[in-house]
Structure 1
Amino acid sequence: MSLRELDPKTALKALQSNEAILIDVREPREYASERIHGALLFPLSTFDPAALPIDKNRGMIFHCGSGKRSADAVARCQAAGVPIDTHVRGGILAWKQAGLATIAIDPATGAMFDPQA
């Protein structure tokens, strides 16, 4: 099995059509300050492929900050025999560059910005 890279807009379509689950492998502080709506947190520092919420009806897409850690998570899954091969190429940085929304916390005020709320 190899690494399958999705561009952010293709990943979003898979999420919106309920074809995939998005897994954020960044660390809790990164997730708390900004995240993609609906992403579940499974930090790479404590990553266990066996703990992932496998759904036989939906695929799984990993993402991180830039794509490096999510590619590592895919490799860890494959080494453990968990059939996951997909991540967002460029991570949340590419997601934002594509003009897609994130949930963010304003560090000055603590206010949450969620364009989907």
Structure 2
Amino acid sequence: MFGFGGNKHKEISAAELNAMLKDDAVLLVDVREVDEFSDGHIAGAINMPLSRFQASLIPDAGGKTVVLQCAGGKRSAMALDKCASAQAAIETHLAGGIGAWKSAGLPIVRG
């Protein structure tokens, strides 16, 4: 675990996220910019770029765990800091971002 701004964030691995997605137990929020998202993203992810990120705009997860994700982990940690400042109960992100996802040989979708 690490944090920016003194906050601690829960990190999950690509394998853990993959299992959660298969179990329909996660709402995945990709905080990369729109062009990055279009170039390739994890199936089922919703795009909420960090440049316009507001915790209050994250859809109701319906009891699922909300997991934030970016390219390598820095921007998702920054978004988690914004969640903490807004007192949103969101504390988890993908360690290593989509780079770790790809390195694990997991699929991405384009468009």
1:94 deviates by 0.3
Q: Give the CA RMSD over aligned residues.
A: 1.2
Structure 1 gaps of 5+ residues are 106-117
Give 1:19 shift. 1.1
Q: How many residues align?
A: 105
How far apart are the structure 2 equivalents of 1:72 and 1:56?
24
Q: Which deviations, in whole Å up to 9, do the C-alpha atoms of 1:77-106 show, x marking residues without a partner? A: 01101000000000000000001000136x
Look up the SS of the partner of 2:110 in the other structure: strand
The alignment partner of 1:103 has SS state of: coil
SS in 2 for 1:83: coil
Residue aligned with 1:93, SS: helix
Q: TM-score by structure 2 length?
A: 0.90
- Percent identity at matched positions? 35
State whether structure 2 residue 65 is matched by structure 1 residue 59.
Answer: yes
Structure 1: 4+ residue segments shifted above 3 A = none
1:110 corresponds to: none
- 5 Å-filtered alignment, 1:72-83, equals 72-83=78-89
Residue identity matched to 2:46: L
Instruction: Indicate whether 1:45 and 2:47 are aligned.
Output: no
Residue 70 (1) aligns with residue 76 (2): yes
Q: Which runs of 5+ in 2 are unaligned?
A: 1-6
Structure number with higher strand proportion: 1
Task: Indicate whether 1:94 and 2:96 are aligned.
Answer: no
- Partner letter of residue 52 of structure 2? T
